[in-house]
Structure formats: structure tokens, C-alpha cells
Amino acid sequence: MSELTFEQAVVELEEIIKKLEAGKMPLEDAVKAFERGSELKKICEEKLKNAQLKIEMLSEDKE
């Protein structure tokens, strides 16, 4: 799952949010979708954190 790009994870997460907001999913499917959304959120946060660290390292090298 961590092989997803940031963009892919965001698109999938947005799709899950739309489905959950529509409120037409059976409860069990909604719970599974929520769990998947939580995993995708973690992936996005980790990728953003890594990008921020790289940017900070590159900025420090230039100084």
C-alpha cells in the first residue's frame, strides 16, 4: 500500500469521502471504507513529512 504515490492516495481518499458523505453504504462497508481512509491518511501524512524533511535538508545545504 505504501507503494501508492501521494496523488493516488489523495484521489482514493477523496473517493472514499464522497461515498461516506453520500450515506448510502451499508454500515459494514462504511466501516471498511473508513478504515481504508484512515490508512490512506497515514500514507499521505508520511509522504508529506518525508517531503518536508527533504526540503529542509536541501535548504540547510544551501545555507
pLDDT in tens, 29-51: 999 999 999 999 999 999 999 99
Q: Which of 42, 43, 22, 19 is nearest to 32 (CA)?
A: 19
| Domain extents in the chain | 6-62
> Following CA atoms 11, 13, 19, 20 in sequence, which dihedral angle do they give, to the nearest 10 degrees?
-160
Right CATH for 6-62 from 2.60.120, 1.10.3470, 2.40.350, 1.10.287: 1.10.287
3 C-beta neighbours (distance < 10 Å), count: 6
Q: List C-alpha distances in Å: 41 to 24, 38, 60.
A: 22, 5, 29
Whether the pLDDT of residue 52 is over 80: the answer is yes
